[in-house]
């Protein structure tokens, strides 16, 4: 699952930041990621993966590798809670998406 998460995160960053090949260990600030773009990307990640990323977790995501690791950890925590069963359909969204979008807007 971690590899799949990284692929989705990588694609999202390439399309949103217009960076052809982001280095997984380069600080995101080096790619011009400001607070507004960061919030937008976090909302998108929460929506795509149906996870919640706290402000503290978001602040610790300094590289693309950090982002993928946090999303993977959030997925593992959610699955460990028994919120999803094998074979369940992929979720379509997360309530935090609207909450964060409201804060950004």
pLDDT, position 35: 87
pLDDT, position 42: 94
More reliable by pLDDT, 98 or 24? 24
Strand (E) or helix (H) holding 100: helix 95-104
Instruction: Note whether 22 and 63 are within 8 A (CB).
Output: no
Cα–Cα distance measured from residue 50 to residue 64, given in angstroms and rounded to the nearest whole number: 19
Helix (H/G/I), strand (E/B), else coil: 21: coil
Sketch out the chain's domains with CATH numbers: 2-83+90-104 (1.10.1200.10)
pLDDT, position 80: 80
List, for residues 25-78, the tens digit of each pLDDT value.
999 999 988 889 999 999 999 999 999 999 999 999 999 999 999 999 999 998
pLDDT, position 91: 41
Identify the residue whose tokens are 């507004």. Answer: 36
């Amino acid at each position: 699952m971690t590899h799949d998460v990284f692929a989705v995160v990588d694609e999202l960053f390439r399309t949103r930041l217009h960076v052809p090949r982001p280095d997984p260990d380069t600080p995101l600030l080096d790619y011009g990621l400001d607070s507004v773009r960061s919030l937008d990307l976090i909302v998108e990640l929460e929506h795509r993966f149906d996870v919640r990323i706290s402000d503290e977790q978001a602040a610790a995501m300094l590289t693309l590798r950090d982002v993928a690791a946090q999303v993977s950890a959030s997925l593992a925590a959610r699955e460990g809670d028994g919120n999803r069963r094998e074979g369940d359909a992929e979720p379509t969204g997360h309530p935090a998406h609207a909450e964060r979008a409201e804060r950004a807007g």
